[in-house]
Amino acid sequence: MDPVVVVTLAVVAVVALAVMTITVLIVLLRRIGEAGNKISGPSPEQEAEILAELEKARSEATDIRAKAESDAGEILRRSEAAVEAAAELRKEAEAEGRVLKYELKEFRSDLERRENRLAEREQRLDEEARRQAERARKLAETETELADRREDLDRVSQERKAILERVSGLTSDQARSELVREIENQAKREAALIVREIEGEARKEGEKRATKIVTLAVQRVATEQTAESVVSVLHLPGDEMKGRIIGREGRNIRAFESTTGVNLIIDDTPEAVLLSCFDPVRRETARLTLEKLVLDGRIHPQRIEEAHERSKAEVQELCVRAGEDALVELGITEMHPELITLLGQLRYRTSYGQNVLGHLIESAHIAGIMAAELRLDATLLKRCTVLHDIGKALTHEVEGSHALIGAEIARRYGEHEDVVHAIEAHHNEVEVKTVEAVLTQAADAISGSRPGARRESLEAYVKRLERLEEIAVSYEGVEKVFAMQAGREIRVMVKPEAVDDIQAQVIARDVAKQIEEELTYPGQIRITVVRESRSTEFAR
């Protein structure tokens, strides 16, 4: 607040107090005069009343005066406080004014410095513009000079080209094409030499490493051979049990076959019966059923059904346990229960005399060893290999290749896409695209083709060897053919006067190609063409 206003307010307050005091005194004097006029005439009661009113007026005057003095003091105190506040505000205003003057001074100096820098920059830009203009002028002169020189060089080049064309008898385009063709032929020869050298080294190193890996895998894994069978034999405590199995008018055997779906063969074999069925799980269930009936001794249709239900549950439990044991042996975890059950069912299935579940476990071990040698994920490779024949558990129920069926099952139960691809590509029914699929094929072939792994029938074996020899003999210039090492090697003897070394290589390649197209066999077959030259003279 402005100090002048404060002082004015204080003066107004004092004047008001003085006016109020004078007014009170006038009122008191008037009342006293009125009281004096009344004293001369009135009675004693009136005098007492007048004195009381006078005393009351005096008291009111005293209160008014005290209140006026108090108000005046308060106004004076506020006036002093206002004066002090005004002084403080004046000091603060002076301080702020000094700060503003300093900042204004600094702002002006900064503005002057910026103006100076802008002036210097403009001066430098002017100088740079002058230099650029000078450079542009020199460049224009240089370009003009270069254009003149280029015209001179073109003229000289045309003259030389004309002279060369007259001397060589070729135009420039013909000479260029000839030079490009010669350089291209030379580059092709050099590239062919380099490629041949690289391929030779790569083939040598690859065969060496592959042989080492496969040899280590085969040496570290070995399993027993299981005979192929589509029948099961159950020994009986005595021949009289056969009659109880057949039942009155054959009712028991008919009930057994209709309940289990397995053919029960009772012949002259002493104390034994045969169970025949293409489904190994169903055949094993029927064997356990008949075994329970024989031990119990009571054989009739109702007991057959009860025993079959118990045997079915037992076989199911055995399949699950076999699948779990296989995964524990391979160190594989977290597989769908349905896949484990299907895997366990393969313990009752054989292929070419080899137990399928044993083949899968053996292949998985081989794949794991090869993956470790190649520094790949051994667990993923084992998973691919142990599931590659999972479709064989359903081939008697679903039409199609077991590779494609197994891939569909694995995809349905959430297996990784690499595992699915390895399953569907292990017989080349789908193009192989991953390393895992290649190693799955290799492990499958090693397990199936190792000595003693599978057994063929004699008739099929002989026919295959005869066909191998027939294919090799059909070529011109072949003298003799020998199928050796159980059909895994063919030695072809050719006539040296009719077949040269290059033709011998061609015959070996053609024979191998025809065998691949016509025959199915595990592993690989080696074809060796022998061309022997002999010179004979007689000394007389």
Report pLDDT digits (tens) over 92-123: 888 888 888 888 899 999 999 999 999 999 99
Q: Crossing angle for the helix pair 435-449 and 417-424, nearest 10 degrees?
A: 40
Looking at per-residue pLDDT, the higher value among 265 and 492 belongs to: 492
Q: Is the pLDDT of residue 227 over 50?
A: no
> Which pLDDT does position 454 carry in this prediction?
57
Higher pLDDT, 146 or 395: 146
- 494 contact partners, CB below 8 Å, separation of at least 6: 477, 478, 479, 503, 504, 507, 529, 530, 531
| 290, burial (CB in 10 Å: exposed 0-12, middle 13-18, buried 19+) | buried
Model confidence over 493-528: pLDDT tens digits? 898 888 888 888 888 888 988 988 888 776 678 898
- Band of pLDDT at residue 295, cut at 50, 70 and 90: confident
Q: List own/partner pairs for 6-9 with CB under 8 A and 24 or more apart.
A: 6/79, 6/82, 6/83, 6/86, 7/79, 7/83, 9/75, 9/79, 9/82
- The confidence score (pLDDT) of residue 12 equals 63
Q: Once rounded to an integer, what is the mean pLDDT over residues 276-285?
A: 79
Q: What is the mean pLDDT of the chain?
A: 79
Which helix or strand (DSSP H or E) is residue 326 part of?
helix 301-330
Residue 453, pLDDT above cutoff 60: no
| E strands, 203-267, in order | 231-235, 263-265
- What integer pLDDT is reported at residue 501 of this predicted model? 83
Provide the b/e sequence for 239-270 (b: ≥16 CB within 10 Å).
Answer: eebbebbbbeeeebbebbbebbebebeeeeee
Q: Where does the pLDDT of residue 8 fall: very low under 50, low under 70, confident under 90, or very high at 90 and above?
A: low
CA distance 368 to 148: 76
**What are 16's two structure tokens?**
């008001």
- pTM for this predicted structure: 0.44
Percent of the chain scoring above 70 in pLDDT:
80
The predicted structure's pLDDT at residue 228: 43
Select the CATH number that applies to the domain covering 231-449 from these four: 1.10.3210, 2.60.40, 1.20.1740, 3.40.50.
1.10.3210
Q: How many percent of the chain have pLDDT more than 90?
A: 4
- List own/partner pairs for 12-17 with CB under 8 A and 24 or more apart: 13/71, 13/72, 13/75, 13/76, 13/79, 14/72, 14/75, 14/76, 17/68, 17/69, 17/71, 17/72
Burial label for 26, CB within 10 Å (0-12, 13-18, 19+), is exposed
- pLDDT tens track for 345-398: 888 777 766 778 888 888 888 888 888 888 888 888 899 998 888 888 876 666
Rounded mean pLDDT, 59-86: 77
pLDDT greater at residue 63 or residue 218: 63
List of residues 6+ apart from 492 with CB closer than 8 A: 472, 475, 478, 480, 481, 507, 508, 511, 527, 528, 529, 530
Q: Would you list the DSSP string of 21-61?
A: HHHHHHHHHHHHHHHHHHHHSS-HHHHHHHHHHHHHHHHHH
d(CA 65, CA 407): 117
Query: Taking Cα atoms as reference points, which of 249, 282, 250, 276 lies closest to residue 264?
Result: 276
Q: Which CATH class is domain 459-531?
A: alpha beta
What is the rounded average pLDDT of the residues 434-444?
Answer: 88
> Which residues, 6 or more positions from 484, have their beta carbon under 8 angstroms from its beta carbon?
490, 491
Instruction: Identify the bridge partners of residue 480 per DSSP, sorted by sequence position.
Output: 493
Q: For the chain, give the number of residues.
A: 540
- pLDDT for position 225: 43
Using CA atoms, how far residue 383 sits from 198, 387, 420, in Å, is 35, 6, 10
Query: Model confidence at 90, in pLDDT bands (50, 70, 90)?
Result: confident
Query: For 391-426, what is each residue's pLDDT tens digit?
Result: 888 766 667 788 888 889 999 988 889 999 999 888
Cα distances from 194 to residues 190, 205, 206, 479, in angstroms, run 6, 16, 18, 38
What does the pLDDT look like over 168-191, one tens digit per residue? 666 767 777 777 777 877 787 777
C-alpha–C-alpha distance, residues 245 and 275, integer Å: 13
| Beta pairing partners, 528 | 491
The per-residue pLDDT for 226 is: 41
Amino acid (1-letter code) at residue 417: E
Least confident of 128-142, 247-261, 387-401: 387-401
pLDDT at 433 over 50: yes
Which range, of 2-11, 108-117, 142-151, 210-219, averages the lowest pLDDT?
Answer: 2-11
Q: Is the pLDDT of residue 230 over 80?
A: no
Model pLDDT, residue 500 = 84
Query: Which tokens is 142 given?
Result: 């240089």
Q: Which residues, in sequence order, are CB contacts of 96 under 8 Å at separation 6+?
A: none
Listed in order, the ranges of the chain carrying CATH 1.10.3210 are: 231-449
pLDDT value for 39: 47
Query: Given a cut of 60, is residue 38 above it in pLDDT?
Result: no
pLDDT at 459 over 80: no
Those residues with Cβ within 8 angstroms of residue 449's Cβ, 6 or more apart along the chain or in another chain: 522, 523, 524
User: Pairing state of beta strands 263-265 and 272-276?
Assistant: antiparallel
Q: Residue 235: which pLDDT band, with cuts at 50, 70 and 90?
A: confident
What span, in angstroms and rounded, lies between the C-alpha atoms of 136 and 133?
A: 5
Q: How many CA atoms lie within 13 A of 310 on its CB side?
A: 12
Strands, sheet with 263-265, edge to edge from the N-terminal-most edge strand? 231-235, 272-276, 263-265
Residue 388 DSSP symbol: T
Average pLDDT on 72-86 reads: 78
List where CATH 3.30.70.1350 sits in the chain. 459-531
Label the pairing between strands 489-494 and 526-531: parallel
